[in-house]
């Protein structure tokens, strides 16, 4: 089963893919370039807007409009005009930046942090922003990465990459508070868990940094169900489109002859069955 290369522009670190199912658009970012991309699969057209600091992820807002999280603040980006407007900031230390994020069904923006430009052990946090106010919900992380909710929104799955585990938290949808319940998945081979998404069956698709794959896991049994191989070792995140196909972002590595790291890939739905 071979992944299709959809986009390559020599980026160092693509991340944060999210699909707008209403308008059939894919958004993703190039972190260190400060670039937010909008890809229209039907027309095979791609647009970008550049911010002035590392950008980690986006949240869907409206037709061709997203909220992008950058080190210097959260910006509303309008791809109809290719303009970015400052919206708000969550105050973090100068040696930290934002990383992966997700929006809950009530409209809260969850986002994690990590050290920048160097990884700083146990300095990361996960914040929740809602109605102009923010609070910390998880602390003492190192590289706050993948976030996903269970189908009924009662559980939050979270990855702190160096732990090589997926943590499970109970999630109070009314207050946005979390309570740690335990680890449900552990990685014991080459790859470390990075970004992830949930499918319609409640399973987790997890990008493996250093593992050259996206792996499929049952969060209730902790068992690995499947592996989709990529032609580069550092796989960063993934998301499903309207057709059940899977978009996958990747990053460069130090391995020789790895010319495709930093590309955007796609697995067709008929190959995922």
pLDDT at 258: 75
pLDDT at 272: 66
- Classify residue 154 by its DSSP letter: S
Q: Are 61 and 67 within 8 A, CB to CB? A: yes
pLDDT at 197: 98
pLDDT at 103: 98
Proportion of the chain above pLDDT 70, given as a percent? 98
Structure confidence at residue 34 as a pLDDT band (50, 70, 90): very high
Residue 99 has pLDDT above 90, yes or no: yes
**Pair of tokens at residue 40:** 């229209």
Residue 257 has pLDDT above 80, yes or no: no
How far is CA 175 from each of CA 23, 105, 130, 134, 137, rounded to the nearest angstrom? 30, 12, 10, 12, 11
Q: Return d(Cα 90, Cα 214) in angstroms, integer.
A: 31
Fold of 4-271: Neuraminidase (2.120.10)
Average pLDDT, integer, range 113-135: 97
**Tens digits of residue pLDDT in 37-65:** 999 999 999 999 999 999 999 999 999 99
**Tens digits of residue pLDDT in 128-156:** 999 999 999 999 999 999 999 999 999 99
Residue among 131, 160, 117, 128 nearest 12 (CA): 117
The average confidence (pLDDT) of the chain is 96
**Tens digits of residue pLDDT in 160-209:** 999 999 999 999 999 999 999 999 999 998 999 999 999 999 999 999 99
User: How many CB atoms are closer than 10 A to CB 106?
Assistant: 12
**Pair of tokens at residue 80:** 């109809």
pLDDT at 259: 78
Residue among 192, 140, 189, 190 nearest 166 (CA): 192
pLDDT at 256: 65
pLDDT at 55: 98
pLDDT at 145: 97
Least confident of 65-79, 179-193, 248-262: 248-262
Helices and strands (H and E) in the chain: how many: 0, 24
């Amino acid at each position: 089963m071979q992944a299709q290369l959809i986009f390559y522009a020599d980026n160092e670190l693509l991340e944060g893919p999210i699909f707008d199912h209403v308008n059939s658009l894919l958004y993703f970012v190039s972190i260190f370039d400060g670039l937010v991309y909008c890809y229209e699969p039907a027309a095979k057209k791609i647009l970008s807007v550049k911010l002035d600091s590392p950008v980690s992820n986006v949240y869907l807002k409206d037709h061709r409009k997203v909220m992008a999280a950058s080190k210097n603040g959260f910006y509303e980006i309008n791809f109809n005009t290719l303009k970015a407007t400052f919206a708000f900031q969550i105050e973090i230390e100068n040696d930290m930046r934002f990383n992966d994020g997700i929006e809950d069904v009530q409209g809260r923006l969850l986002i994690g942090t990590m050290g920048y430009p160097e990884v700083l052990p146990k300095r990361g946090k996960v914040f929740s922003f809602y109605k102009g106010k923010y609070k910390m919900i998880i602390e003492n992380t190192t590289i706050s990465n993948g976030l996903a909710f269970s189908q009924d929104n009662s559980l939050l799955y979270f990855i702190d990459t160096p732990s090589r585990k997926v943590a499970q938290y109970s999630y109070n949808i009314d207050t946005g508070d979390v309570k740690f319940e335990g680890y449900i998945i552990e990685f014991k081979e080459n790859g470390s868990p990075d970004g992830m998404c949930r499918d319609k069956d409640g399973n987790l698709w997890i990008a493996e940094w250093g593992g050259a794959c996206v792996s499929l896991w049952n969060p209730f049994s902790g068992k690995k169900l499947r592996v989709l191989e990529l032609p580069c070792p550092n796989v960063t995140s993934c998301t499903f489109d309207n057709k059940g196909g899977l978009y996958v972002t990747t990053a460069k590595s130090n391995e020789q002859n790895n010319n495709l790291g930093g590309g955007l890939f796609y697995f067709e739905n008929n190959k995922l069955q």
